[in-house]
Amino acid sequence: MIVSYHAAMTAPSHPRRPGPGRPREFDTDLALDRAIAVFSERGYQGAAISDLTQALGLTAGSLYKAFTDKRGLFLAAFDRYVALRTERLRAVLEGAPTGRAKIKAVLDFYADSSHGADGRRGCLVVAGAVDLATADPEVAARVTGALHLNEGRLAGFVAEGQADGTVALHLDPMATARLLLCVLQGMRVVGKTGRDRMEMAPLADNALKLLD
Amino acid sequence: MIVSYHAAMTAPSHPRRPGPGRPREFDTDLALDRAIAVFSERGYQGAAISDLTQALGLTAGSLYKAFTDKRGLFLAAFDRYVALRTERLRAVLEGAPTGRAKIKAVLDFYADSSHGADGRRGCLVVAGAVDLATADPEVAARVTGALHLNEGRLAGFVAEGQADGTVALHLDPMATARLLLCVLQGMRVVGKTGRDRMEMAPLADNALKLLD
DNA sequence: TCCTTTTGGGAATGATCATTTCCTAATTGA
DNA sequence: TCAATTAGGAAATGATCATTCCCAAAAGGA
Output the pLDDT for position A57.
Answer: 96
**What three-state secondary structure class fits A101?**
helix
- B126 CA to D21 C1' in angstroms comes to 36
Q: What is the pLDDT of residues A198-211, one digit of tens each?
A: 999 999 999 999 99
Chains A, B: CB contacts within 8 A come to 157
Rg (CA), chain A: 19
Output the pLDDT for position A3.
Answer: 38
SS3 content of chain A, % helix, strand, coil (to 5): 70, 0, 30
Output the pLDDT for position A10.
Answer: 74
Output the pLDDT for position A128.
Answer: 98
| pLDDT bucket at A8, cuts 50 / 70 / 90 | confident
Interface mutation vs chain B, best among A115, A118, A174, A179, most B CBs within 10 Å: A179
Query: Average pLDDT per run of 10 along chain B, which is 212 residues long?
Result: 55 74 94 98 98 98 97 98 98 97 98 98 98 97 98 98 98 98 98 98 98 98
CB of B39 within 8 A of CB of B74?
yes
Phi, psi dihedrals of residue B97, rounded to the nearest 5°: -85, -35
| Structure-model confidence comparison of residues A137 and B12, the more confident one | A137
Q: How far apart are the C-alpha atoms of A108 and A105, rounded to whole Å?
A: 5
| pLDDT bucket at A34, cuts 50 / 70 / 90 | very high
Q: Do A140 and B193 touch (CB under 8 A)?
A: yes
Which one, of A27, A44, A206, lies nearest residue A129 by Cα? A44
Which domains does chain A show, CATH number per domain? 82-211 (1.10.357.10)
Output the pLDDT for position A6.
Answer: 59
CB of A16 within 8 A of CB of A24?
yes
Q: Do A42 and B135 touch (CB under 8 A)?
A: yes
ipTM: 0.95
- Name the nucleotide nearest B48; use CA and C1': D17
- A25 CA to D2 C1' in angstroms comes to 24
Q: Do A193 and B126 touch (CB under 8 A)?
A: no
Output the pLDDT for position B2.
Answer: 36
**Rounded alpha-carbon distances, angstroms, from residue A15 to A9, A66, A106, B92, B194:** 15, 14, 30, 56, 36
- B57 CA to C7 C1' in angstroms comes to 15
**Rounded alpha-carbon distances, angstroms, from residue B44 to A188, A203, B12, B28, B192:** 19, 30, 24, 19, 16
Output the pLDDT for position B8.
Answer: 76
Interface mutation vs chain B, best among A45, A142, A189, A205, most B CBs within 10 Å: A189
Q: Do B133 and A120 touch (CB under 8 A)?
A: yes
Which residue in B44, B183, B206 is closest to A186 by CB distance?
A: B183
Output the pLDDT for position A7.
Answer: 67
User: Chain B residue with minimal CA distance to A143?
Assistant: B193
| Confidence check: pLDDT of A92 > 70 | yes
Q: If you average pLDDT over residues A99-105, what whole number do you get?
A: 98
